[in-house]
Amino acid sequence: MRFTGAAVITAALTVSTAGLSAPASAEAAANTEYTVVAADNVSTSDATAAITKAGGKVVATNDTVGMFTVLAPQSGFVEKAAASSKLVGAAHRTAIGKAPKKPASVEKEALAAAAKKAGGKKPATAGMDPLDDKLWGLKTVKSDLARKVNAGDKRVTVGVLDTGVDASQPDIAPNFNWALSKNFAPDKVDIDGPCEVASCLDPVGTDDGGHGTHVAGTIGAAANGFGISGVAPNVSIVELKGGQDSGYFFLEPVVNALVHAGQNGLDVVNMSFYVDPWLFNCTANPADSPAAQAEQRTIIRGMFRALTYAHFKGVTLVGALGNNHDDKGKPRTDVSSPDYPADAAYDRPIDNSSCWDLPVEGPFVIGVSSLGPSLKKSDFSDYGVERIGVSAPGGWFRDGFGTDTYRTNENMILSTYPKKVLQEEGTVDADGNVLPEAEGLVYKECTAAGKCGYYTWLQGTSMASPHAAGVAALIVSAHGAKHGKDFGLEPWKVEYILYSTAAEHACPEPRLQTYTQEGRSEEFNALCEGGTEFNGFYGFGIVDAYKAVTAKAWWEHR
């Protein structure tokens, strides 16, 4: 089922401009848009012929992973494509991932609660910023110590595959890489609302969702004496906008973003989104219709190829493990899929051997679980020895039961956030002032020149993953080397150092962790399997930036 790595790497990329905007012709408007993936080792010409035979018209291609944007009749095309030996199948342009946006989601539990209540050169070093005393996550991963040795290298590029990045934020601006940043996800009026620009392709350096800006700040907010600083405050941030403003992630933009990362030599890519409309993509789930099965096979193959391509091009891939409080090796029945469009979900028993939560269960992705300030696994965090790599601070609003810290904002992760989104959420007014009821949930800091930045608290494995991605960027900064004109470090070496320097943490006793006192049902009970060196809650351990930049790997002693 996996695409041959060599075949992926040797292919070339072709993306036509037709894939960046809605078709203009009356003929195109009358058709439905699909993403089609070619079968293994099938040429572009043969795949195009098969698509045409099935009744489709190719409007854009990505030869690197054998992916096509196709216009075809609304009915019958998926079945015809699945029947072709030249094609894996076709998927409607429906979402494959989602960064939570609704206030009642896991990440904004505090907001919901408030509503109810009411190379060769000396490494760059850095100090701490004014709001860093609120960032318990920085200290947990020892970024405060690591930056005294190595705060990151500007040549190291970290892609934020997300909803965008607000490059006007004063903590993001110094580290934002305009040249490599790109938007792959045109606005879709039916889910994102009216387009802000005529092309429906938001300008680079904007984020109408907020999620990506929060992630970017945790990774690499500048240590500039203002606001907050990130885990790796001197690396470069690259916007890879693969998510819609509404938070959905579609197959084609995500694949194109990963290919772009590989082709442009990015060092690390963070993926803090979870799969949607299918919580698990399965090859042949009996609960699904033949057409739904074909669509999921298309998503699986496309994502596997893109992840493999990026990895072999030198990209270290880091992903959020998920917020479904699930053991990744023993998944529960999926009762939430498909959740796009609304009210379409039905019960789907999940066969672990033939179903994947993408991208985190895809090839070469380092899965990251979430911890609270007490270092307990966050109640919402997925876990399990099958897919976890490491653990990191992701926040847990309900941590500290029985103490004054229980259900407080400070248990979560504070990071950068766009003013526009805060205004839409009702926590900042039209003049840019934080509303009284949002005091303590939202912070505003302004420079002497009057440039203001905003910050808010979120929780989730989406917040844990960028802590690990930041440490990965520091590893490349400290241990990377020049190869011709390029500077970097092979992903397997990054992964080795990340795992070997992580702070080991044993399973809790008793091993069955319950969250009933925090108000959770028995469904949240989680069994920690494994030993101190590796287990289902902590993986190889809690990422440790200081050890990572000061360690000597075995190949560095030769």
Alpha carbons within 13 A on the beta-carbon side of 303: 31
Check residues 109 and 16 and name the one with the higher pLDDT: 109
Whether the per-residue pLDDT at 237 is higher than 80: the answer is yes
Average pLDDT over residues 375-401: 98
Whether 380 has a pLDDT exceeding 70, the answer reads yes
Is 236 in a helix, a strand, or coil? strand
Task: Please give the single-letter amino acid code of residue 121.
Answer: K
Q: With CA atoms as reference, report the closest residue to 35 among 11, 5, 17, 59.
A: 59
Neighbour count for residue 492 (Cβ, 10 Å): 11
Beta strand 388-393 with 365-371: parallel, antiparallel or unpaired? parallel
Tokens for 424? Answer: 């839409």
Q: Is the pLDDT of residue 24 over 60?
A: no
Q: Which structure tokens are listed for 68?
A: 């096509």
Q: Is the pLDDT of residue 139 over 60?
A: yes
β-pairing, 57-62 with 236-241?
unpaired
Rounded to an integer, what distance in angstroms lies between the CA atom of residue 378 and that of residue 85?
45
Q: Which residues pair with 388 in a beta bridge?
A: 367
In tens, the pLDDT along 311-354 reads 999 999 999 999 999 999 999 999 989 877 778 999 999 999 99
Counting residues of the chain whose pLDDT is more than 70, the rounded percentage is 90
**Does 21 have pLDDT greater than 60?**
no
Amino acid at 293: Q
Query: Pick the residue with more confidence: 274 or 107?
Result: 107
Does position 248 have pLDDT exceeding 90, yes or no?
no
Centre a 10 Å sphere on the Cβ of residue 118 and count the other Cβ atoms it contains.
Answer: 5
Q: Over 70: is that where the pLDDT of 99 sits?
A: no
C-alpha to C-alpha distance for 489 and 214, rounded to whole angstroms: 26
pLDDT at 93: 77
Within 10 angstroms of residue 33's Cβ, the number of other Cβ atoms is 17
Largest CA distance in the chain: 66
For 245-249, 391-395, 438-442, which range has the lowest pLDDT when averaged over its residues?
245-249
Tell how far CA 135 is from the center of its chain: 21
H or E segment to which residue 151 belongs: none
Give, for 57, the enclosing helix (H) or strand (E). Answer: strand 57-62
* pLDDT at res. 117: 53
Give the C-alpha separation, 184 to 187, whole Å. 10
CA distances from 383 to 82, 189, 279 (A): 34, 36, 15
Between CA 115 and CA 438 the distance in angstroms is 10
Look at residue 471 and tell me whether its pLDDT is greater than 80: yes
Calculate mean pLDDT across residues 246-263: 94
Sheet holding 442-446, edge to edge: 413-417, 452-458, 442-446
The answer, yes or no, to whether residue 393 has pLDDT greater than 80, is: yes
Q: What is the pLDDT of residue 104?
A: 45
Question: Is 50 exceeded by the pLDDT of residue 23?
Answer: no
Beta-carbon contacts of 101 under 8 Å, excluding residues fewer than 6 positions away, are 209, 210, 211, 246, 247
pLDDT at 97: 63
The Cα 199–Cα 182 span in angstroms is 15
Q: For 153-206, write each residue's pLDDT tens digit.
A: 999 999 999 999 999 999 999 999 999 999 999 998 888 899 989 999 999 999
Q: What is the pLDDT of residue 116?
A: 54
The pLDDT value recorded for residue 557 is 75
Average pLDDT, whole number, for the chain? 91
Phi and psi torsions of 134, nearest 5°: -95, -5
pLDDT at 542: 99
Pairwise pLDDT comparison (114 vs 306), residue with the higher score: 306
Each as own residue / partner, the long-range contacts of residues 10-16 (CB below 8 Å, 24 or more positions apart, any chain) are 11/63, 11/64, 11/65, 11/66, 12/63, 12/64, 13/62, 13/63, 13/64, 13/259, 13/263, 14/61, 14/62, 14/63, 15/60, 15/61, 15/62, 15/256, 16/59, 16/60, 16/61
Average pLDDT of the segment spanning 216-222: 98
User: Average pLDDT, stretch 30-43?
Assistant: 91
pLDDT number for residue 277? 78
pLDDT of residue 119: 43
What's residue 261's pLDDT?
A: 98
List the alpha helices (DSSP H) in 266-401.
290-312
Residue 1 has pLDDT above 60, yes or no: no
